[in-house]
Amino acid sequence: MRRQQKLKRGRIRMCLLGIGIFLLASLHLAEVHAQRRSTRQWTPLFDGQTLESWKKTNFGGEGEVQVSDGEIQLDFGSSMSGITYTGSLPTTDYEIQLEARRVDGIDFFCGLTFPVEDSFCSFIVGGWAGSVVGLSSIDGKDASENDTTRYMSFETGRWYQVRVRVTGRRIQAWIDGRRVVDQKIVGRTISTRNEVDLSKPLGISTWETRAALRNIQVRQLRSRAGRGMAASE
């Protein structure tokens, strides 16, 4: 009798466990589907023919900027060259992606400055003599000295896909589909270096490097009902 009771209790536990697993899986799938439904399509920010809503950033000593062969070409600057977006864009719960390549030089060929709610941050690709990847700045520390610091090799002339995701809790970044940054931002001070102030709210810059950009796109992760938009002055 006791053995039968134990077996019965065991079956009940297994049944409850199975129900629990099923409910958790169902909730996870529902969340995934909801996120997919709420994610909007990518919106191009570059038409491949003109600068349109972009302007050359007047850093002082900047190189020439031109559109050719479906790409934005940034010439050598002394020390910086870049472009700044003049349209409106989200400030949180969004992603921005682009392709960038170093044409010549040894420093960063993509310094992507972007809004983070009421602040701004920069994702540096190939800085500090060509290999540093990270965010500038976290708690006042640059991409070369904070928790996001990473060292990577970049081939001259090769296109790299760069993607940044901003939410209310974290900043994430990918290069060629590989996540290289996953930074929690709650309770942290997010800022930029003074050198890229003119890149705000959204800009792409280089440091003593010739580079090319293409396929610049943005998408909202969920509807903000008209909130969370930034515009260049």
CB 164 within 8 A of CB 114: yes
61 and 10 fall within a common domain: no
Instruction: Tell me what pLDDT residue 228 has.
Output: 55
Q: Give the pLDDT of residue 227.
A: 46
Range(s) of the domain holding residue 80: 43-231
Q: For 113-172, write each residue's pLDDT tens digit.
A: 999 999 999 999 999 999 999 999 999 999 999 999 999 999 999 999 999 999 999 999
CA–CA gap between residue 82 and residue 206 (Å, rounded): 6
| 92 lies in the same domain as 139 | yes
Tell which residue, 199, 193, 210, 195, has the closest CA to residue 106: 210
> In terms of domains, do 64 and 176 share one?
yes
**What pLDDT is recorded for position 1?**
57
36 by Cβ neighbours in 10 Å (0-12 / 13-18 / 19+) ranks as exposed
Q: Tell me, yes or no, whether 92 and 192 share the same domain.
A: yes
Does 29 lie in the same domain as 130?
no
- CATH classification of the domain holding 100: 2.60.120.560
Together in a domain, 24 and 111: no
**CB of 102 within 8 A of CB of 209?**
yes
- Average model confidence (pLDDT) across the chain: 89
Query: What pLDDT score does 37 carry?
Result: 46
Poorest-pLDDT segment among 6-15, 43-52, 58-67, 139-148: 6-15
| Co-location of 80 and 154 in the same domain | yes
Residues 52, 33 share a domain: no
Q: Is the pTM for the entire model greater than 0.95?
A: no
Residues 27 and 49 both lie in one domain: no
**pLDDT at residue 218 in the model:** 98
Q: Is the per-residue pLDDT at 17 higher than 60?
A: yes
- Do 33 and 128 lie in one domain? The reply is no
pLDDT at position 188, please?
98
Condensed to tens digits (0 to 9), the pLDDT of residues 85-103 reads 999 999 999 999 999 999 9
pLDDT of residue 99: 98
121, 26: one domain: no
- Residue 175: what pLDDT? 98
pLDDT (0 to 100) of residue 38: 46
Domain tally, the chain: 2
Angle made by CA atoms 69, 41, 200, in degrees to the nearest 5: 65
Asked if 180 and 150 sit in the same domain, the reply is: yes
